[in-house]
Amino acid sequence: MLSRSEGSVTAELAMVLPAIMVVVSFVLQALVAVGLQLSNASLARQAVRDLSRGTDFSVVENFLAQANSSAHASEVRQGEIVCVHISQELGPGPLALVIPEVRVKECAQNAQ
């Protein structure tokens, strides 16, 4: 038979456990977001490097689609500067309410 204090500990744990789960899922999704940010930044650097050397955007877009099919890329040219914007939805979870997508922008001077 449970003593009075053991029952209250169980009740307290039952009340706190959902909050702990939300915090843990928030932290895990934040780690996923950082990983997406780093990998998309690397892809954007490679893409802008190729574009600045004269590679057609459709070729770069195919490369990006193979590397990360859920990311969306766009190209912006302003005079001698070429930029690549990559955005990707974070997915379901508590962090998605605050940060719905991860965005990366890399620019370089046109080398042509």
Please answer whether residues 85 and 40 qualify as being in contact, where contact means their C-beta atoms are separated by less than 8 angstroms. Answer: no
> Is residue 53 within 8 Å of 82, Cβ to Cβ?
no
Distance CA 78, CA 108 (A): 11
- 52-95 residue pLDDT tens: 998 999 999 999 999 999 999 999 999 899 999 999 998 888 88
- Structure tokens given for 111: 């080398």
- Look at residue 1 in the predicted model and tell me its pLDDT: 52
Looking at residue 2, what is its pLDDT? Answer: 54
Which residues does residue 104 pair with via DSSP β-bridges, in sequence order?
86
pTM score of the predicted model: 0.79
Average pLDDT for the chain:
89
Q: Is the pLDDT of residue 9 over 80?
A: no
Q: CA-to-CA distance for 103 and 81, rounded, in angstroms?
A: 19
Which amino acid makes up residue 50?
A: D
